[in-house]
Structure formats: C-alpha cells, structure tokens
Chain A
Amino acid sequence: MAITLASGAETAAINAAANAVAVLVDAGSTAGHIRLTLANGTTEVATCIGEDPFFGSATAGVCTQNGDAIDPDATGNAAAVTLFQLRDSDNATVLSGTVAESGGDLNIDDGDTDGDVIIEPNAVVTLSGITLEFSIA
C-alpha cells in the first residue's frame, strides 16, 4: 500500500533534501567548485570556484547558485572533457555527471560538431544560474 504525503509535508521534505545536498558543497573551509575532467575523472581541465555558500537555501525544493562559479585561467587540454564533479573545497565529490556537446548533463558547444568538448588553455569558464532541485514525481 503506497503512503501519501500532505502538500505541506511534501514541501518540507523536498526543501530538506535540497538543503542537505547543497550544504555538502560548503563542507570544506572555503568555497566549493565544479571541476571539468578528462574521461579518467582525475585529469583536471578547468575548475570553476563558486561563492561560499555555493547555493542559497531551498524554496519549493530548489536551491539556486549564489553568484557565478569561475575559472579565470583554465588548464585546458587537447583531449576531450567528458566528466564534471561538483565538489567541496576538500575535494569531496557531492554530485557528478557527464560532459558532451549535446545530450550530456553539462553541454558545451565548443564550436565544432565532432562530438568532443575541447577547452583551450587560458580559457575563461563561467557557470551561473545553477539550480539544484528535488521534487516528488
């Protein structure tokens, strides 16, 4: 038999879930970041450092990024970026996903259609308007 949630309880639950994940990004002593890597998950291509705290508090299950996360001088790599990690400043991963030209979790149009995402050395990478949302489907 399925349980049911009252609407007020549902809002409280999704806000609690979103806040619980968002606060993990701030667990280190300084600001959290989003790191773009090669397929091995360890070779860093760009690290976009956010504000501290990274997200604001949840409203209706949505935490919204504070300001921007920026890498003003990317390491870059001739090989394709295929992964990203959202991490705290102690490098603990909170959330991870794929990077692609399209169809990935994080999509970058790098100007060609060869399917690979190449970020050049010294590029400026900016991420903004990031939302972390929990809902009951």
Chain B
Amino acid sequence: MRAVGKIRMKFTGRGTVKNPDGTERKIVLQGEQLVTEKEARKYGYHPGERS
C-alpha cells in the first residue's frame, strides 16, 4: 500500500529523419508530465471525501 501523491505520464520513443541526400539524423522522444494533487483537483480529484 502506498499513498497516492502524484501521477506521472511519460511519452518516450526514438526515430530517424533521412534526408534526400542520404544523411540520417536521430530522433529521441522523452516527454514527461507530473501531475500533482493540486493540479489533479482541477480535474475532479478530491482525496478524503466520501463518495
């Protein structure tokens, strides 16, 4: 059991861009968003309240 503090969302991946001249470049996806309890309240999260 552990307390619900924050919710983390991560969006990761990789890729390439291949140019017409044949050169190739790398892509790195590394997005992350941490939602705090305060922010989650905006979306209806109410800890401790009876349903």
Using a CB–CB cutoff of 8 Å, the interface residues on chain A facing chain B are: 1-7, 10, 17, 21, 48, 65, 74, 86, 95, 97, 105-111, 119-137
Contacts and interface: CB of A to CB of B under 8 A. Distances in A.
Interface of B is mostly: strand
14 contacts: A2-B48, A74-B17, A86-B11, A106-B28, A111-B23, A111-B25, A125-B16, A126-B15, A127-B13, A128-B15, A132-B10, A133-B11, A136-B8, A137-B6
Given A3-B48, A107-B28, A130 B17 contact: no
Interface in B6-48: 6-20, 23, 25-32, 34, 47-48
Contacts, number: 120
Interface residues of B, number: 32
Contacts of B25: 108-111
B11 A95 contact: yes
A126 B16 contact: yes
